[in-house]
Amino acid sequence: MRTPMHEATKTFSRTLRLDGLHVRKPLWIALVIVVVLAVFLPLVTHLYLLRTEYAPGFSDAAFNSIQAGDTLDTVLQRLNEPFDFVIVSQSPDESRYRPEYSDDMSLLQQRAAHENVVVVLRYSKPKRYDGDYRAREVWINKGRVKELRAYNYWD
């Protein structure tokens, strides 16, 4: 025999009260799942997928202390040597489409002061061969910092 209390309990088990709102269980569960994903998905993305190796001596605090107009020597004092660098010609001929990659620091000193090139110092790389990572770059033109770039590289 069903009593009114039994019917009330049955109805309450299908509906939850949320500050005067009646929310059905499946909707409540979906809401919890969305909130959990919204919190943990970005965390997992940054901790697991963006596996980054930084150059020895690199720190984000030192990177953020670099400003446009700083000299190459200032950058090297604060951040140490990069993993490698890219020399991009700014001349109007076709050489601008063939960047030169190197890790030879003597070449860096020679080419960074040249006015027709931009030198990109790369202070980070993926821990896996071709994975996603947090890119940290310092762009040098005429021996001075042109700009800093910090972005997530998705491969």
pLDDT digits (tens, 9 = 90+) for 12-30: 445 555 555 555 677 778 8
Spatial neighbors of 101 by CB under 8 A, at least 6 apart, are 84, 85, 86, 87
Q: Choose the CATH number for 52-153 among 3.40.140.10, 3.30.1450.10, 3.30.460.80, 3.40.50.300.
A: 3.30.1450.10
Q: Would you list the domain boundaries of the chain?
A: 4-49, 52-153
Q: Is the pLDDT of residue 140 over 80?
A: yes
User: What are the backbone dihedrals phi and psi of residue 66, each rounded to the nearest 5 degrees, phi first?
Assistant: -75, 140
The tokens of 98 are what? 């063939």
Half-sphere exposure of 132 (CA within 13 A, CB side): 10
Report yes or no on whether pTM surpasses 0.95: no
The tokens of 85 are what? 């660098």
| Spatial distance between the Cα atoms of 149 and 50, rounded to a whole number of angstroms | 16
pLDDT at residue number 13: 47
Half-sphere exposure of 78 (CA within 13 A, CB side): 16
Distance of CA 88 to the CA centre of its chain: 23
Is residue 120 helix, strand or coil?
strand
Residues 114-124: pLDDT tens digits? Answer: 878 899 999 99
